[in-house]
Amino acid sequence: MTTRTALTDAELDSRVARGKRVFMYAAFAMFLFFILSLLNFVLAGGRMGLRDTARWDETAAWPFIPLPAFLVIAAGLAAVVGVFLAAPYFRHDTADDLVLMGLVSIILFGFMSLFFAGVYTSTSGIRMGFDSYPEQGVGWHWIAAVIQIPAVVVLAVRGSSLYRAHKRRKRDSHLESA
């Protein structure tokens, strides 16, 4: 078995690609969940959740097709697995993908999970008590946002270590050329 330092650039790229593939499948699933929410919005007469009012005639009650929390949590978990598969093998020249994964983790898996938790409420969810549906708490979708925290931390640590290594190599090359 080869060690990480003995891996060629092609082998490193294939390991990064494996992690990115898992991550992007999870991102695509979140995109489909967003499209499902838009479909529910249109069919429910412009309603986004039980707390909202209809803006036009409803075709179906909200939600026409519910979004179970376990699907969002599974997509969030797959994204974290993808980050953990890819992060150790990023190089400085592929660091732009590292930044992209970090931003997508925060925006798509973090904020969208919180959005889904707010509009797909649950009777077993965390009670908010400030609206006209006190029996409905925030959905469990928020868990997908919480499990992104370790992935974002890993990406930040890996990115900063790549940056420091690049600066060190750049400084050393200037010293050798002088």
Q: What is the pLDDT of residues 18-69, one digit of tens each?
A: 999 999 999 999 999 999 999 999 998 888 877 778 888 888 888 889 999 9
**122: three-class secondary structure by DSSP:** strand
Q: pLDDT by residue (tens digit) across 88-131?
A: 888 877 778 888 899 999 999 999 999 998 888 876 666 555 55
In the numeric block, which tokens belong to residue 114?
């919180």
What is the identity of the amino acid at 143? Answer: I
Helix (H, G, I), strand (E, B) or coil at 49: coil
Which of these, 3, 18, 140, 147, lies nearest to 68 by C-alpha position? 140
Predicted model pTM: 0.83
The three-state secondary structure class of 126 is strand
Q: What is the DSSP string of 134-156?
A: TT-BB-GGGHHHHTHHHHHHHHH
SS3 content of the chain, % helix, strand, coil (to 5): 70, 0, 30
